[in-house]
Amino acid sequence: MDLYEKIKNQEESLSLVGLGYVGMPIAVEFAKRGIKVIGFDLNATKIETYKSGIDPTNEVGDEVIKNTTVEFTANEEDLKRAKFHIVAVPTPVNDDHTPDLTPIEGASEILGRNLTKGSIIVFESTVYPGVTEDICVPILERESGLKCGADFKIGYSPERINPGDKVHRLSTITKIVSGMDEETLDTVAKVYEIVVNAGVHRAESIKVAEAAKVIENSQRDINIAFMNELSIIFNKMRIDTKSVLEAAGTKWNFLKFYPGLVGGHCIGVDPYYLTYKAEELGYHSQIILSGRRINDDMGKYVAENVVKNLIAADKAVKGAKVAILGFTFKENCPDTRNTKVIDIVNELNEYGIYPMIADPTADAAEAKRLYDVDFVTMDAIKDMDAVVLAVAHTEFASLTMDQIDSFFGEEKKVLLDLKGLLNRKEYEAVGYSYWRL
């Protein structure tokens, strides 16, 4: 009986190493399909949170966490009881935009110390082509004393989970799978087919799968950078970018991307992994890095337009009362890591503006820990000179004009609607100074 059959028959366990926005939903989904799952994370506090039936990510909900059969643990030795390991740890970049492989190297060390013969390890973390075989395998071999190919096998299956997205889920997105040989590929594919209703795509090699993942988000990054550049140009021309995109979008082959802040752990990070490897091989990226520069500067651009709109409304800049609605890196998701809203905050600080920030969706403790930011309640936002609607949370999209009016004083109202959630003409008709990307 092969490993796939043993997993299906609950004779062997599957482990998830890394229980964040990606790893935890995978663990829960496998458990839901009757698989014995060990969910491991170094963060003991996070493990206790899951054990108490709380889902801080809001990805599956408290009720699901409360009833899941996943064995949550912070004890790495529990991994010895699993034969199929999925690694879903973050792969961030350093301050100089070079890949920070510390999390994936650490996960490989932990797994290596607890690896048993006959195991398969599948990495899901986004990396540049070659990391799985050239960096992770030597660590696994060193720590375990086992030989890759003879004692254990490896595969790669890039994560495609979209945090906060309730439509595109693990089971509904085609999964790319790869393995070091045909036998491993077959096992990896069959194991993932247990939870992926949309099916799998068998990549011809691990490097192909790694490359496929890293270009998915690079493509999105470049397209959004183009939209951001158009927004800058059209604002200079006093043309509404959203109206232009709506008109252009009537053509069947026009790609519907929109300008905005590009943060998070994928779109704003993955391109740097690809360009780093390209640089190592002697090629200096032109299009990819150009797009990154545009997107990285958008927070500064927004802050500059806050200041310009305050001046145009005859309001003092230094000490201006400004509120920012939304702090997470994307809508309807509590994750504040890698948010670009902080760039707006930091740039406003340079002008002597210290904005109030409200975000009922965000993880307040995380924001305090990472950025030393304290949120205020929506009720506390009053007598503002300017309000920046920064994140398209559902609760912000449903704000009425009366509610937005209540944020301001009697003087000219300056409203910056970065995501274009509101009706521009309606707000301008009642005297608002309205601006959007």
* Active-site residue list: 266
CA–CA separation, 270 and 92 (whole Å) = 8
State the sign of the Cα–Cα–Cα–Cα dihedral 258, 264, 268, 274.
negative
Please tell me the distance from the alpha carbon of residue 385 to that of residue 412, in angstroms, as a whole number. 8
Kindly state the helix (H) or strand (E) to which residue 323 belongs, with its residue range: strand 322-325
Ranges assigned E (strand) in 193-306: 200-202
Locate tokens 């070091």: which residue? 180
